[in-house]
Amino acid sequence: MDKLVLMAEKEKKSLQKNLYAAVKAYYEKKYGAFADDVQVERERMGKPYITVWGEKPPDFFNLSHSSGAGAVIFSDCEVGLDIEILGKADAKVAENFFHKNEQKYLKESRDEAEYQRRFYEIWTKKEAYLKWNGTGLMGGLADFDVLTKQYAFQYVKINGKTYALSVYGGRASLGAQASVMRVMPVWRAETDSARY
């Protein structure tokens, strides 16, 4: 089963550091390894992976952060994750980077609030998919339609702010959306010592 952890931290560098610390701590505990035995490496296109005792185990993780919140997911399958704070939806971005079916979905919005929610739903799903397949934003964003793929997706509130959160791969792509999104503790780095 996938395990998803959310974090809140005001400083971007601290948030990034704490996300990677959570990754290392998770695998140290899972494998009974020391800190030096667990390393975060990167593939050629930048996708992170873990090594334990110099070997790549059959484990996967992905992480994302945006404006004071971060998330990391652990899985036994390839997985991609994106979190974004809801802001103003950019019609030019949709026009240039969204598939025609996604653009249609946006245009069918009842009002500006629904347009904004749908925009971030599509954007986070795109990023999660591209992180899952390891291409990141180098993959052609308008070349695929996220509305035809199965994702775990939801809006989350962290410190009074609304974020869009998407997971592609892991158990989410196998039809277990609800189980992915059930385990969601929020770790406030500045006050809580529990990491996962």
Pairing of strands 3-8, 186-188: parallel
Helix, strand, or coil (residue 155): strand
- Report pLDDT digits (tens) over 124-182: 999 999 999 887 666 678 889 999 988 889 999 998 999 999 999 866 554 444 333 43
Q: Tell me, which fold does domain 3-188 have in CATH?
A: Ribosomal Protein L22; Chain A (3.90.470)
Structure pTM?
Answer: 0.85
**Tokens for 165?**
């959160």
Q: Strand, coil or helix: what is 194?
A: coil
Indicate if the pLDDT at residue 90 is higher than 80.
yes
Which tokens sit at 16? 């990034």
Tell which residue, 163, 165, 129, has the closest CA to residue 147: 129
- Amino acid letter at 156? V
Mean pLDDT of 69-86: 93
Average pLDDT over the chain reads 85
Express as a percent the part of the chain with pLDDT over 70: 84
Going by their DSSP bridges, the two strands 38-42 and 48-52 should be labelled as: antiparallel
* 148-175 burial: b if 16+ Cβ within 10 Å, else e: eeebbbeebebeeeebbbbbbbbbbbee
Read off the pLDDT of residues 51-60 as tens digits, 9 standing for 90 and up.
999 999 999 9
Q: What pLDDT, on the 0 to 100 scale, is given for residue 2?
A: 77
Cα 87 from Cα 193, distance rounded (Å): 30
Distance (Å, whole) CA 135 – CA 144: 13
CA atoms within 13 A on the CB side of 114: 7
pLDDT computed for residue 172 by the predictor: 52
Report which DSSP code applies to 184.
-
Closest alpha carbon to 166 in 153, 181, 155: 153
Token pair in block for residue 41: 């490496």
